[in-house]
Amino acid sequence: MNNDMTQHIDGVSIVIPTYNRCHYQDDTRNPLMWCISSIKQQTHENIEIIIVDDASTDNTNKKMKNLLKKHTDNIKYVVNKERKGSSVSRNIGVDYATKELVLFFDDDCVFMNTEALASAIYAFKEKKLEGNNIAAMHLPVYYRSNRSKDTRPVHEILGIDYEKARINCNTSSFPTEINQSNTEHYFKDTNILKPLEVNNLRGVFLCSRQAYIEVGGFPDYFPTPSLGEEHKLAQKFTNNGYKLYFSPDPKSALLHFKYGREDKEQVMPLAPLHKDAVEFPLSLKEMVDESRHVKCDTGNAVTTEESMYSYVFGRSMIFGSRTISKRKFKKRVKNEIIEKNRHSYANRKLYDRELREKICLEAISAAETKSREMTNPYTIQR
């Protein structure tokens, strides 16, 4: 590591909500164990890992108790008595965090480089030292691949587009704004790429614990299982004057296995993982293949109906505060989802038009009711 980076060695609490990611007695095929192993290999030293078990029914509790016998110093294990969803579980995790920075991490992700976390923390702290009121920085997340899949403008990688009432999440892409041969795009005297400002977040990002607490953390009203609550947190940050960034640096990238889904996510040619990325003997291809086995009771697995409801509800909460955005989003829902059936989850569609319309209208109504409650918190509930 570059000596100039030592001033940035700060503590980080890694919060990992999990649900049924330990199906096997053999740890080598359990993604939660891949995830924890990946973190343990990081060169960054001041780490605490907080696992929030969202009432798993598989071997998670047993596996974690065995792990805690060996690692009592830097791993905390919290168990929800009943499922609360990823939003609430993350908020619970932050309650146990003791470090200045929090990294929200998915339980089926692994770092692809042993210095990934140190590089990411350096970039985060540099943006802060430059005088930016930074709340969070998203890391590059590649889906079932350890290579960036395409290039596109950064606002199409992570962006809430209020004018078009659309949300962009393409974190396996590389920003067209950055030329890796241009030294101006790197922090001085390092080989670390500078992050770019965005206005959105998705699953895996570094966050200031203080900023997170100030805006109230993740919303606790998302349906369970929940999808997309990160977008609302991003909106809370930007509405409160904070800045968000996307780090494009491949050195800080993660591989997301999308465990339990067989969707046709394109897998790029796979180069080997760093030899010490995880301690298990599985190859990258074997881990990807294992992840493609469909499991209906794991992670944030949802039905097509649940996915549609969560999608419409979440975006209604985001766009509902702006009249033009709200109108455009409702029009999109009617045209693209109800009429043209363009919504899909894990390559599954809902072919019953009347059911699509019912789900969408119920989600919009629920979001409008919740928005009114939040605007008028003293309204009597009937």
The residue with tokens 């992570």 is 158
According to DSSP H, which parts of the chain are helical? 31-40, 60-70, 85-96, 116-129, 154-157, 209-214, 229-239, 284-291, 304-319, 323-332, 353-375
Tell me: do 78 and 138 sit in the same domain.
yes
Largest CA distance in the chain: 62
pLDDT at 363: 96
Q: Which amino acid is at 19?
A: Y
What is residue 44's predicted lDDT score, i.e. its pLDDT? 92
Residues 242 and 326 in one domain: no
DSSP element (H, E) containing 322: none
Task: Give the residue from 33, 202, 175, 16 showing the smallest Cα distance to 94.
Answer: 16
Beta bridge mates, 206: 103, 137
Residue whose C-alpha is closest to residue 310's, from 293, 318, 299, 327: 318
User: 91 with 127, same domain?
Assistant: yes
Coil, helix or strand at residue 348: strand
CA separation for the pair 34, 382 (Å, rounded): 47
- Characterise 307 by phi-psi region: left (phi > 0), alpha (psi -120 to 50), beta (else): alpha
Domain that holds residue 354: 304-375
Please list the pLDDT of the chain residue by residue as tens digits (382 residues).
Answer: 444 444 444 799 999 999 999 999 988 999 999 999 999 999 998 999 999 999 999 999 999 999 998 876 799 999 999 999 999 999 999 999 999 999 999 999 999 989 999 999 999 999 999 999 999 999 999 999 888 889 999 999 999 999 999 999 999 999 999 998 899 999 999 999 999 999 999 999 999 999 999 999 999 988 777 788 999 999 999 999 999 999 999 999 999 999 998 877 767 666 666 666 777 778 888 899 899 988 889 988 888 999 999 999 999 999 998 999 999 999 999 999 999 999 998 888 999 999 999 999 999 999 999 999 988 755 444 3
Cβ atoms within 10 Å, residue 48: 17
Last residue of a domain, one of 291, 325, 352: 291
pLDDT of residue 301: 82
The domain total for the chain is: 2
Are 174 and 206 contained in the same domain? yes
> Could you give the 3-state DSSP secondary structure of residue 377?
coil
- CA nearest 38: which of 257, 245, 230, 228? 257
At which of 291, 316, 334 does a domain end?
291
Report residue 115: phi and psi, to 5°.
-105, 15
Give a yes or no: residue 363 inside a domain: yes
CA atoms of 252 and 48, how far apart (whole Å): 18
Q: Tell whether 251 and 319 lie within a shared domain.
A: no
pTM for the full predicted model: 0.93
If asked whether residues 208 and 66 sit together in one domain, one would say yes
Distance CA 358, CA 25 (A): 42
SS3 label, residue 28: helix
Which residue, of 236, 263, 291, is where some domain finishes? 291
Same-domain pairing of 70 and 214:
yes
**Is residue 380 assigned to a domain?**
no
Residues 102, 194 share a domain: yes
Q: Which amino acid, one-letter code, is at 217? A: G
Residue pair 245/174 in contact (Cβ under 8 Å)? The answer is: no
Examine residue 138 and state whether it is found in any structural domain, yes or no.
yes
215 and 309 fall within a common domain: no
Based on the domain organization, do 329 and 286 belong to the same domain? no
Cis peptide before 269 (omega within 30 of 0): no
How far CA 111 is from CA of 13, 36, 266, 278, 359, in Å, comes to: 15, 10, 20, 9, 37
